[in-house]
Amino acid sequence: MGTSFAITVVGHDRPGIIAEVTGALADLGGNLEDSSMTLLRGHFAWTLVVTGTDPAVTQERLRPLQDSGLWTTVIPLPESDAAPRSGVSYVLSVHGGDRPGIVAKLTEVVAAAGGNIVDLTTRLAGDLYVLVAEVALPVEADVALLERQISAAATSVGVGATLRPEDTDLL
């Protein structure tokens, strides 16, 4: 087993990026363990956790991607037990008119309750701002109180918000 490191790849989207990056990693004997990729307003954004032998060699191998407008970083990760997350899974949905501070206000409330956001997606569609987050709440969390706090925070920034248990049958 080699060293674990995080890789980010960001740049203008075009066909073939994933094939190029994973091909380079495979050439180096890198093993792709986890990743999350999305398009953000026409820009490719990908974060990967890879096990390989040398982060510096990996960074050098990915450097030519800059010629095509992609920026990469390779960051060594400390060893982790990779313990499964604990708690009860909920989905936080927020929608309303776009304005600064929506994400900060709602995630602050979740954090104060001991909740950990394990997945977050936001989108701006015209004037409508949408946030969907998967939240792991401690088993002892007072969900009814948290729902009231989320509602108050959402009202304060002019959006609507709901917190509901995650439908694990869909996963």
Predicted local distance difference test score (pLDDT) of residue 23: 94
For the domain 3-76, what is the CATH code?
A: 3.30.70.260
Alpha helical stretches, state H, 1-54: 17-27
- What CATH homologous superfamily does 88-170 map to? ACT domain (3.30.70.260)
Within 10 Å of residue 105's Cβ, how many Cβ atoms?
Answer: 18
Give the residue from 44, 11, 48, 10 showing the smallest Cα distance to 26.
48
Consecutive 10-residue averages of pLDDT for the chain (171 residues): 90 95 94 94 95 91 93 91 72 96 97 96 93 96 97 97 84 50
pLDDT of res. 2: 78
Report the predicted TM-score, pTM, of the whole model to 2 decimal places.
0.81
Strand-pair partners of 32: 50
- pLDDT at position 136 is 96
pLDDT at position 27 is 94
Among the listed residues 158, 94, 97, the one whose alpha carbon sits nearest the alpha carbon of residue 128: 97
Q: How far apart are CA 81 and CA 36, in angstroms?
A: 20
Q: Which residues contact 123 (CB under 8 A, 6 or more apart)?
A: 129, 130
Portions of the chain given CATH number 3.30.70.260 = 3-76, 88-170
